[in-house]
Amino acid sequence: MPELISPIAPRSASAAAAPSASGLGTGGDPEFSFSDADFQRVRELIYQRAGISLNAGKQAMVYSRLSRRLRETSQRSFASYLQWLQASSGPAGEAEWQEFVNCLTTNLTSFFREDHHFHALVDDLRARSGRALRIWCSASSTGEEPYSIAMTVAEALGNQAKVQIIASDIDTKVLATAQRGVYDGDARGLSPERLQRHFMRGKGVQAGYIRIKPELARWVEFRSFNLMGRSWSLGEAFDIIFCRNVMIYFDAATQRQVLQQMHGVLRPDGLLYVGHSENFTESRDLFHLRGKTIYQRV
């Protein structure tokens, strides 16, 4: 593969003497006070802000993830941090709310994850060839999913296809990674053929990294987006939406709200690709099942 054309920072060394992920002090006691009331307040705030329903078994996960934020903001307890968070306002307040959401979102992804969708996508793209296409990847995480979509477009329609891929996520930190388009060379889900065709390989200090080729990256536009937002200003209607393994974190009412809004931004024959454990047969007035975890707009 050709050498990368722009510099990539080398892997950083591990930070020395970092606090343990468990948040336990040297004596085994919790570093921060974290009561049941604190946990309940976190659950309420993340639901209000991002629609995420945290179950009662996530207390340890919340402690581990948010305790890092307490250290960074010099807060001494969860109660003081949450009080400070709710009192925050202006740009600084919005920035802290974003950090709060970033800490509690889950970003599990890989290239061509649930690969049956990409086999189906080839046929769906070819059925729509000859017109400009709009695709929305609504939970792009660190970019593997939207770039997998872009690779599939290139393989199905060629590099001259007219396509726009909007890739969004609520987590601004993973979006920054996605926009760079740089990954470890042993990234899971990529065949040797796809590595050769769609990526550039780094050399020298960049050895061990790969970067998505510019001709694919140009199709993808990254945006910060909250599915709980009341106004979805996304431009023209989409042909296809990928919203996979997102709504498992929502309760039934929130799922219904999001499905109604997705129905509104899809073309009449538009398709919704969802995760393997998501089932929306209760919303038959909006979507009907067209294939394995693929729904068509009613």
- Same domain as 246, residue 203: yes
- Same domain as 240, residue 95: no
Q: How far is CA 272 from CA 139, 178, 237, in A?
A: 13, 22, 13
If pLDDT is split at 50, 70 and 90, which confidence band does 159 have?
very high
Asked whether residue 175 is assigned to any structural domain, the reply reads yes
- Same domain as 129, residue 248: yes
Q: How far apart are CA 245 and CA 243, in angstroms?
A: 7
In percent, the amount of the chain with pLDDT more than 70 equals 90
Range of the domain at 44: 36-104
Contact 290, 296 (CB under 8 A): yes
Asked whether residue 89 is assigned to any structural domain, the reply reads yes
Position 18 scores a pLDDT of 36
pTM metric for this prediction: 0.84
- Same domain as 213, residue 163: yes
Does residue 245 sit in helix, strand or coil? coil
pLDDT in tens, 175-192: 999 999 999 998 999 999
Asked whether residue 23 is assigned to any structural domain, the reply reads no
Cα of 152 vs its chain's centroid, Å: 19
- Same domain as 282, residue 216: yes
- Same domain as 288, residue 140: yes
- Same domain as 91, residue 120: no
Instruction: Considering only CA atoms, give the Rg of the chain.
Output: 21
pLDDT in tens, 192-242: 999 999 999 998 888 999 999 999 999 999 999 999 988 899 999 999 999
pLDDT in tens, 84-128: 999 988 999 999 999 999 999 988 899 999 999 999 999 999 999
Q: DSSP for 227-242, please give it.
A: TT-S-----SPEEEEE
Does residue 8 have a pLDDT over 50?
no
Position 271 scores a pLDDT of 98
If pLDDT is split at 50, 70 and 90, which confidence band does 29 have?
low
Which residues are known to be catalytic? 65, 169
